[in-house]
Chain A
Amino acid sequence: MNFDFSDEQKVLQSEARKFLEAHCPISRVRTVLNDDAKTHDQELWKGIAGQGWLGAAIPEEFGGLGLGHLEICLIAEELGRAVAPIPYAGTVYFLSEAIMLAGDKKLKAAILPQVAAGNIIGAMATAEGPGALVPAELQTSVSAGKLTGVKLPVIDGNIADLCLVLAKEGCQDSLFLVDLNAEGVTREMLKTLDPSRDAAKLTFKAAPAQRLGSAAGGIALVEQIFDRAAVLFAFEQCGGAHKCLEMAKTYALERYAFGRVIGSFQAMKHKLVDMYVKNELARSNAYYGAWALNTNASELPVAASAARIAASEAYRFASKENIHTHGAIGCTWEIDCHLYYRRALQLTLVVGAPKLWKERLVRHLERRIAA
């Protein structure tokens, strides 16, 4: 049994942490948060491209480092810890993974080296407004290679170059690759709960679209991409949740009330343990997800669902109880707690709310029992 990352992978992680501590202190996150016009930290984006993080899992023949998915799990954890204001997920978890899953050699050669070099930002557009996506009610459609419809919210939609768009072609749903810089695309900024990340409303009017994967294979491909992304997001969430526990612990050991540090009160100790327990369960589920992702195991849909559910719960809980531990000061703009709270909400919703993943998980378990 070696249910852990290797020493080399852990070195990579600690290097990533050092890099982000130097180049992505929380003050840098605030510059994006505080400025409505600022969509992301461009300097940091260049920096991480220089570190090779964008092409970590891309094969060397397509300009990447040719490492595995375990490495990007650990990078994701550090990005989550740093609340990094960059479009890493859209570019790496969505675009790069989708091309590696469903692109032919020509497409891979055209896109992956550009991703690895930091020249292309990716995004994914599935939602069309409030509520969970229902394939039958999909409004966006493609006809003769032209896409028409409205997608929102699209994370990083204002800055992305290439977007994966789920749309109907005739009565079949497929996934399309759309150049957002081409004609027929209108982008509008959306106000969100997490202004440290960009989000857009995209309106397509006969925008050129290229199908990725098979016709009628859209939902299935989106599920495959989401499963893979769910594991990587789970690591981001673990990174953020662990940071929240550290912040709460530090504050509880500094802050005095009634003549003692508040961390000596059992109510506070037990709250911190509740955070710790959820974090450990999330981490353990995320590890299993990482194993399934890296080996492309048939367990991936179940492992990814479990990782996503546990990590969403851990980060949600840790970020809200971190605020509570800080007391009223934790509710101010000046104290950093809300940055994690916002990001926790963003990550909980980004590839579908936990409710949806719980339903998916049970459907898989039913099949397993029936088999």
Chain B
Amino acid sequence: MDFNDTPSEAAYRARARTWLEAHAPKKAAVGDALAAAKAWQTKKAAARFACIAWPKEWGGQDGTPIQQVIFDDEESNYAVPPNVFQIGLGMCMPTVMTFADEATKKRFVGPAIRGEEVWCQLFSEPAGGSDVAAARTRAVQSNDGSGDWIINGQKVWTTGAHFSDFGILVTRTNPGAPKHKGLTMFWVDMHGPGVTVKPIHQMSGESEFNEVFFTDVRVKDNQRLGPVNDGWRVSLVTLMNERLSVGGLPPIGWKQMLELARTFTYGEPAIRDRALRERIAEWYVTTEGLRHLRNRTITALSRGETPGPESSVGKVIIGQQLQDQAHAAVELLDQFGIVYDEALSPMDGAFQRLTLLSPLYRIAGGTDEILKNILAERVLGMPGEVRMDKDIPFKDLPTGR
């Protein structure tokens, strides 16, 4: 039991460090973040560090997942721009590479890995967040003999749609079939006619996600990914290819809470408050538990094993913990906790910001409840949910409104 790299991992780390030291930015870019992200991606792709585990012919290194983890760890020591390519390269491209024809792959993979074109994933809809297979966006094949499909409907919670060039899209092609059997997947041009992107104004004031409207959008039949009405199977490939995530660490944790408690008084210095001290200990233990769970996952990767869905453990607890910490922090400030002003609030208002952001953490990327179902079913082997909608034609399913 140790935390050391194997000799070959150490050699890879040294190689990554050397390259990063020569090329990675030491100071965060000011101004156009997207342009900075694209420029950094182009550099990484040229050195084949963009998608390390991909085959060489598609711009990778034929590397291993552990090498990607090592590079990511090292890269996090530099002031690199935020990675806006994770969904495109982690989920969309593997789907394109599995289901598209050669010409399509040749057209898209290169620009995607170099960061020249950004992709988004158009799955969630107003009527189906957790229930992705309930997609209502309609694709109808035109009867003009072109074989083209006409798409109408709405997607929602699409990360990065406002700066994406292309997307992969789940549509309903046969409403007469049960819901999982009438879906078809396409790739679409986000700049094409009939596509409207509208940012979602989150309760936190930020806009990281979008609504995307499709109005008579015409796509070629060769933009179809996989067979007609087989879109559910295709989307499972997308979701399975979710970028091998060993999980990051939360932005705010026990350390910030301890610092806050040392700085402020609540009658007496807040750090003397027994109840708060106990909670800080509990937050520390959870955070450390997750850090070492990650170390166990990395160990499995290092041995060439594939980590299972147990890596969802972090997602199940961290949203709630961040929300609890944010609430504890603003309560600690007492009446002043309500003040949300970067100039006046401690840590530039990070805790106040977190009170407003954390509700979404427990929902985005799979709600706590859906993740618990996944863990119960795939890790513990419990029965799947009883489904009322399995054998009923999609069009006959109750919708509420």
Binding site for B on A (CB under 8 A): 1-6, 70, 249, 252-253, 260-261, 263-264, 266, 268-270, 272-274, 276-277, 280-282, 284-285, 287-288, 290-291, 294, 305-306, 309-310, 313, 355, 357-359, 361-362, 365-366, 369
A260 B386 Cβ-Cβ under 8 A:
yes
Which 7 pairs between the two chains have the least Cβ-Cβ distance? A281-B289, A358-B281, A284-B292, A269-B376, A264-B383, A3-B295, A273-B372
Q: Which residues of B contact A294 (CB under 8 A)?
A: 1
When the two chains form their complex, are residues A310 and B289 in contact, meaning their CB atoms are under 8 A apart?
yes
CA distance A268 to B373 in the complex (A): 10
Interface-facing stretch out of B121-129, B179-187, B251-259:
B251-259
Q: Binary interface profile of B, 273-312, with partner A (CB < 8 Å = 1, else 0)?
A: 0100110111011101111110110110010000000100
> With A281-B293, A282-B289, A361-B281 in contact, do A263 and B382 touch (Cβ < 8 Å)?
yes
Shortest CB–CB separation between residue A313 and chain B, in angstroms?
A: 8
A-contact bits for B338-367, CB 8 A (1 contact / 0 none): 000000000000000000000000000000
* A residues less than 8 Å from B62 (CB atoms): none
Whether B313 and A281, one on each chain, are in contact in the complex, defined by CB atoms closer than 8 angstroms, is yes
User: 1/0 per position for B362-401, CB-CB distance to A under 8 A?
Assistant: 0000000100110111011111111000000000000000
The chain A residue sitting closest to B254, CB to CB, is A365
Determine the residue in chain B with the shortest Cβ distance to A260. Answer: B386
Please determine whether B380 and A273 come into contact, CB atoms closer than 8 angstroms: yes
Residue of B nearest to A357 (CB): B281
Do A1 and B383 touch (CB < 8 A)? no
**Inter-subunit contact B282/A358 (CB<8 Å):** yes
CA A178 – CA B291 in complex, angstroms? 42
User: Is B293's CB under 8 angstroms from A2's CB?
Assistant: no
**A280 to B280, alpha carbons, bound, how many Å?**
20
Question: Would you call A369 and B289 a contact (CB within 8 A)?
Answer: no
> Shortest distance in angstroms between A12's beta carbon and chain B's nearest beta carbon?
14
Determine if B3 and A3 form an interchain contact, defined as CB atoms under 8 angstroms apart.
yes
Residues of B within 8 A of A264 (CB): 382-386
| Chain A residues within 8 Å of B116, by CB | none
Docked Cα-Cα span, A290 to B3, in Å, equals 13
Q: Which residue of A lies closest to B66 (CB)?
A: A1
Give the distance in Å from the alpha carbon of A253 to the alpha carbon of B380 in the complex. Answer: 11
Closest to B300 in A: A4
Does B156 sit within 8 A of A, measured CB to CB?
no
Least Cβ–Cβ distance between B302 and chain A, in angstroms: 6
Q: Given A253-B383, A359-B281, A362-B280, 19 other A-B contacts at CB below 8 A?
A: A2-B3, A2-B4, A3-B3, A5-B1, A249-B380, A266-B369, A269-B376, A273-B372, A273-B380, A274-B372, A281-B285, A285-B289, A306-B284, A309-B281, A310-B285, A358-B277, A362-B258, A362-B284, A365-B258
Determine whether the beta carbon of B382 is less than 8 Å from that of A355.
no
The CA-CA distance from A261 to B313 in the complex, in Å, is 25
The answer to whether B2 touches A365, judged by C-beta atoms less than 8 angstroms apart, is: no
> What residues of A have a CB within 8 angstroms of the CB of B84 in the complex?
none
Contacts of A263 in B (CB 8 A): 382-383
A3 contacts B296, CB within 8 Å? yes
Contacts of B6 in A (CB 8 A): 2
- The answer to whether B316 has its CB under 8 Å from any CB of chain A is yes
- In Å, the complex CA distance between A306 and B295 comes to 16
Chosen A-B contacts, 13 in total, with CB atoms closer than 8 Å, are: A1-B298, A2-B1, A3-B2, A3-B3, A4-B299, A269-B380, A277-B317, A281-B313, A284-B288, A285-B285, A287-B296, A313-B285, A362-B284
Q: Counting chain A CB atoms within 10 Å of each CB, which of B3, B284, B290, B382 scores highest?
A: B382
A51 to B258, CA, bound (A): 47
Q: Is B5 an interface residue (CB 8 A)?
A: yes
Question: Which of A273, A276, A277 has the most chain B CB atoms closer than 10 A to its own CB?
Answer: A273
Residue B262, interface by CB 8 Å: yes
Are A2 and B299 closer than 8 Å at their CB atoms?
A: yes
| Interface size, B (range) | 35 or more
Q: Are A277 and B386 in contact (CB under 8 A)?
A: no
Give CA–CA (A95, B196) in the complex, Å. Answer: 73
Tell me if B271 is interfacial: C-beta within 8 Å of chain A.
yes
Q: Which of B2, B298, B379 contacts A276 (CB 8 A)?
A: B379
Q: Which residues of B contact A253 (CB under 8 A)?
A: 381-383
Residues A70 and B284 in contact, CB atoms below 8 Å apart: no
* Chain B residue at minimum C-beta to C-beta distance from A307: B285
Point out the residues of chain A lying under 8 angstroms from B271, CB to CB. 366
Shortest B138–chain A CB gap in Å is 31
Q: Are B258 and A280 in contact, with the CB atoms below 8 A? A: no
**A266 surroundings in chain B (CB, below 8 A):** 369, 373, 385
Closest to A277 in B: B313
Return B278 CB to nearest CB of chain A, in Å.
5
Contacts A70-B1, A284-B293 known; A362 to B277 CB distance under 8 Å?
Answer: yes
Point out the residues of chain B lying under 8 angstroms from A305, CB to CB: 281
A273 touches B1 (CB 8 A): no
**Which residue among B271, B282, B298 has the maximum number of chain A CB atoms within 10 Å of its CB?**
B282
**In the complex where A281-B289, A309-B282, A358-B277 touch, is A1 in contact with B299 (Cβ < 8 A)?**
yes
Known contacts A3-B299, A276-B375, A358-B281, A287 near B292 by CB under 8 Å: yes
CB of B381, distance to nearest CB on chain A (Å): 8
Q: What is the CB-to-nearest-CB distance from B399 to chain A, in angstroms, rounded to a whole number?
A: 22
Instruction: Please indicate the chain A residues that have their CB under 8 angstroms from the CB of B310 in the complex.
Output: 280
Tell me, rounded to whole Å, the shortest Cβ–Cβ distance linking A276 to chain B. 6
* Chain B neighbourhood of A4, CB < 8 A: 1, 296, 299
- Minimal Cβ-Cβ distance residue in B for A314: B289
Given contacts A3-B299, A5-B1, A362-B280, contact A270 B255 (CB under 8 A): no
- Complex Cα distance A3/B230, Å? 41
Which residues from B are CB-within-8-Å of A249? Answer: 380-382
The residue among B255, B285, B298, B385 with the most chain A CB atoms within 10 A of its own CB is B285
Tell me whether A365 and B289 are in contact (CB under 8 A).
no
Task: Please name all residues of chain B whose beta carbon is closer than 8 Å to the beta carbon of A291 when the two chains form the complex.
Answer: 1-3
B5, B277, B377: the one within 8 Å of A359 (CB):
B277
- Asked whether A1 and B5 contact (CB < 8 A) given A270-B369, A362-B281, the answer is yes
Using A284-B290, A287-B292, A365-B254 as known contacts, say yes or no to A2 and B302 having CB atoms under 8 A apart.
Answer: yes
**B-chain residues with CB within 8 Å of residue A1 when the two chains form the complex:** 2-5, 9, 295, 298-299, 302
Q: Which residues from chain A contact B254 at a C-beta distance below 8 Å? A: 365
Instruction: Write the chain A residue with the least CB distance to B316.
Output: A277
Given contacts A1-B302, A3-B295, A3-B299, contact A281 B286 (CB under 8 A): yes
